[in-house]
Amino acid sequence: MTKEKTLKDCTLCGLCKSNCPVFRSTKLETKGARARAILIKENIFDDILKANNMNKKENCLDVCGKPGTSGIHGFDDIILQCTLCASCKIECPENIDLPKEIRKARQKLIESGKETPANKIMIENIRKYGNPFGKQQPGKIPKELYCC
Ligand code: SF4
Ligand code: SF4
């Protein structure tokens, strides 16, 4: 088996986006696996997050560096819209585990207090009811369905 490499070895070839479901459905380079690889490899994600945390009023910044509105927006969406399907890992000729890097980036977002409302509710439900859907009533389907 080929040795797993890190994002430092990424050649930006773009093969990872060929089967990325987010890229395939949006047809946007900025939503694909390579965009996530670039954001993390080039420290753009860390830099924006740092700048963002220093300026609490401007609760988020988009990829272009423009101040955004509060909440989840722009560059963090690129990280959060990943389905963690791992197709990019399978396609990568360098054997880079991009989903692992995306999970780390998500952890940083959560640590900075940036998470989607759905994620917040899901975590609360798990803590309270032991499942992501909330209070269960026999024979009834929950009105809202959340999934990780
Ligand atoms: S396939 Fe691998 S080497 Fe190519 S851009 Fe994606 S992560 Fe980088
Ligand atoms: S794990 Fe994320 S970035 Fe990789 S192919 Fe799946 S959706 Fe795209």
Cα–Cα distance between 134 and 124 in angstroms, integer?
Answer: 8
Q: CA 119, CA 102: separation in Å to the nearest integer?
A: 16
11 lines ligand 1 (CB under 6 A): yes
User: Residue 5 class from Cβ within 10 Å (0-12 exposed, 13-18 middle, 19+ buried)?
Assistant: middle
pLDDT digits (tens, 9 = 90+) for 20-71: 999 999 999 989 999 999 999 998 888 888 877 766 544 444 444 444 443 3
Residue with tokens 């990780």: 148
Contact 84, 102 (CB under 8 A): yes
The residue contributing the CA closest to ligand 1 atom 2 is: 92
CA of 135 from ligand 2 middle (Å) equals: 31
- The tens digit of pLDDT for each residue in 65-112 reads 444 443 345 677 788 889 999 999 999 999 999 999 999 998 988 888
Ligand 2 centroid to Cα of residue 102, in Å, is: 9
pLDDT value of position 148: 56
Q: Which residue from 112, 144, 115 is spatially nearest to 129, judged by alpha carbons?
A: 144
